[in-house]
Amino acid sequence: MKSGLTISESRTDDVLVLKLSGYLDGHTFVELEKSLDAAIKGGSHRIVIDLAELTYIASAGVGVFINSQHQVRKHGGSLQLVNPAPTVREVFGILGLEAIFTIHQTVDQGVRAAKK
């Protein structure tokens, strides 16, 4: 049975790290959208999203990543995606998102990329 979405936040220097777990779909994407909008409006323009515990993603969730990347780039920042589960990575591949996002293996790699 599907579960909701859990978002936990931490910081490494000036980089916001969001760890997602559960399902990112048409019902839960609003939670992530609100969290990212608040972070960006609050001045966080270097963001890493850890996808290791995200078990499902729908197109609505993908849209949040694309929109947020656009928003942080307006401020000279970046949005980095890290360690998606195989099922999530497969969706990224099918949708061609690997051409839009660099997907890192570890949070540390994502943080380093976000600082550049």
Q: What is the CATH number of the domain that holds 29?
A: 3.30.750.24
Using 50, 70 and 90 to split pLDDT, how confident is the model at 3?
low
d(CA 23, CA 55): 6
pTM: 0.93
Residue type, 62: V
Mean pLDDT of 59-84: 94
Assess if residue 115 is contained within a domain. no
Lowest mean pLDDT among 1-5, 33-37, 46-50: 1-5
Banded model confidence at residue 98, pLDDT cuts 50, 70, 90: confident
Is 116 within the bounds of a domain?
no
Domain holding 13, by residue range, is 5-110
Do strands 78-82 and 46-57 pair parallel, antiparallel, or not at all (unpaired)? parallel
Please state, rounded to an integer, the average pLDDT across all residues of the chain.
93
pLDDT at 1 over 50: no
Six token digits for residue 13: 């220097």
Which residue, 32, 43, 41, is CA-closest to 81? 32
Burial 76-107 (b: 16+ CB within 10 A, else e): ebbbbbbbbeeebbebbeeeebeeebebbeeb
Q: How many domains does the chain have?
A: 1
Classify residue 11: in a domain, yes or no: yes
Dist CA 15 CA 17 (whole Å): 6
What average pLDDT does this structure show over 92-110? 91
